[in-house]
Amino acid sequence: MKLTGPFKQIVTLANLPLRGKLSDDKLEIIENGGILSENAKIIDVADFDVLKTANPTAEIENIEETQVALPAFTDAHTHICFGGNRANDFAMRNAGKTYLEIAESGGGIWSSVQHTRVASEDELLKTTLERINFLISLGITTIEIKSGYGLNVENELKMLRVIKKAQKFTKATLVPTCLSAHLKPRDFEGNNEEYLQYILNEILPKVKEENLANRVDIFIEKSAFQPEESRNFLIKAKEMGFEITVHADQFTPGSSRIAVEVGAKSADHLEATIDEDIEFLASSETVAIALPGASLGLGEKFSPARKILDKNGILAIASDWNPGSAPMGNLIAQAAILATFEKLSTAEVLAGITFRSAFALGLEDRGKLEKGKKADFVTFKTDNFQNVLYQQGSLKAESVFIDGEKI
């Protein structure tokens, strides 16, 4: 048994509901707190001295300076396995060039596909682990990672194998998702429906066979896959036993409705979701995932987080870290900025990057500091937890604990 503390404050997030709006007076804050853990799980969170007296044999991990502790964060939507770099896309877009002009000059998503295809597994593993370590340094210990820059059997499997291999080198929990339906690759001979059928026939059975992912994602958008072909694809993927998640309503509305109708775990993006569909989504079990990093990367509006919460939806916030539209990767900064634009309470933001985002990945064993949960937590050198969001990502995590152990 191990007792970590004392902390000036522990923000447990215990007893907060899975859905709907939250006011900050609902936050449980334990002053002079300690976290008692054993075998990777939390045994108790309470006053440090009380825990110490009651558990005299517990090993003490002493926290010397004034620090606060929070549940470690979950980033439920990333594309951090990729080759190449698209800094020139960013510069061109900001200089007023169109999507088509950027694509014609060798940029766009196809550029990431080409760079990812030529990269070796070792190269991809190295850069993916560097990005994982950056996320851990922010206090993120659960990370979803998508394929989607391979776009053929060989390279989609390569990406997913790299993600699987990366799990051997990190204590963070990695959750792989097959996003072969990111867009139809330029070199595929056939239409969209034929490409989706190719994924169902050629890619997904191998993903299952090698146990590379149990989640399937699709980008439903005018420039990618159309609503009805996507619905058919998702129903079939679900029949094969995959969990579903959808890139929905980024530029045009309608696809969040499909996500809900097929029983997706999450509908992500939602920048263009219309009010009627917000209500439909918010009354479902599908998690709405806001991706402020994509809004910041593209200069587009933010996802309607406030409306989703007010309609009693389940709101999570993720980074969408990718080389094109969301290159920043700093979920804490992005969540804090989303809060200022969407008027989110501190409790709503913290819930959105902890237990609510973990729920979107089917992981209900984490994201709160309470008995029985996974002992993943992050500490900050400050006397007030509000500083974490107030400083908009510039207050760095002091220590990150996974399974009760400092890493």
- Chain contacts with Zn ion (rule: CB under 5 A): 320
Q: Which is nearer to Zn ion, 212 or 291 (CB)?
A: 291
Q: Least distance (Å) from Zn ion to the CB of residue 114?
A: 19
Q: Whole-angstrom Cα distance, residue 27 to residue 244? A: 32
**What one-character DSSP code corresponds to residue 221?**
S
Q: Which is nearer to Zn ion, 148 or 404 (CB)?
A: 148
Q: Which is nearer to Zn ion, 55 or 112 (CB)?
A: 112
How many helices (H) and strands (E) are present in the chain, helices listed first?
17, 16
Q: Which is nearer to Zn ion, 267 or 375 (CB)?
A: 267
Contact 138, 331 (CB under 8 A): yes
Q: Least distance (Å) from Zn ion to the CB of residue 90?
A: 16
Q: Which is nearer to Zn ion, 220 or 378 (CB)?
A: 220
Q: Least distance (Å) from Zn ion to the CB of residue 294?
A: 7
- How many CB atoms neighbour CB 191 within 10 A? 11
Q: Whole-angstrom Cα distance, residue 112 to residue 151? A: 11
Q: Are strands 287-290 and 29-38 parallel, antiparallel or unpaired?
A: unpaired
Q: Which is nearer to Zn ion, 320 or 348 (CB)?
A: 320
Q: Least distance (Å) from Zn ion to the CB of residue 390?
A: 28
- Which among 193, 211, 205 is positioned nearest to 239, based on CA atoms? 205
- Bridge partners of residue 315, in order along the sequence: 288
- Give the residue carrying structure tokens 């522990």: 10
Taking the C-alpha atoms of 117, 119, 121 and 124 in order, what is their torsion angle to the nearest 10 degrees?
A: -110
**What one-character DSSP code corresponds to residue 382?**
S
- Which among 29, 45, 37 is positioned nearest to 405, based on CA atoms? 37
Q: Which is nearer to Zn ion, 76 or 351 (CB)?
A: 76
Q: What sign does the dihedral 229-235-240-241 (CA atoms) show? A: positive
H or E element that contains 124 = helix 121-137
**Measured at CB, which residue is nearest to Zn ion?**
320
Find the angle CA(8)-CA(12)-CA(15) to the nearest 5 degrees: 145
Q: Which is nearer to Zn ion, 277 or 320 (CB)?
A: 320
Q: Least distance (Å) from Zn ion to the CB of residue 370?
A: 31
Q: Least distance (Å) from Zn ion to the CB of residue 237?
A: 17
Q: Whole-angstrom Cα distance, residue 291 to residue 76? A: 10
Q: Least distance (Å) from Zn ion to the CB of residue 55?
A: 44
Q: Which is nearer to Zn ion, 149 or 233 (CB)?
A: 149
Q: Least distance (Å) from Zn ion to the CB of residue 231?
A: 19
Q: Is the backbone of residue 256 left (phi > 0), alpha (psi -120 to 50) or beta?
A: alpha
**What one-character DSSP code corresponds to residue 225?**
B
Q: Whole-angstrom Cα distance, residue 171 to residue 194? A: 39
Contact 211, 204 (CB under 8 A): no
Q: Which is nearer to Zn ion, 4 or 147 (CB)?
A: 147
Q: Least distance (Å) from Zn ion to the CB of residue 315?
A: 17
Q: Least distance (Å) from Zn ion to the CB of residue 377?
A: 27
- Give the residue carrying structure tokens 């933001």: 349
Tokens linked to 101:
């002009």
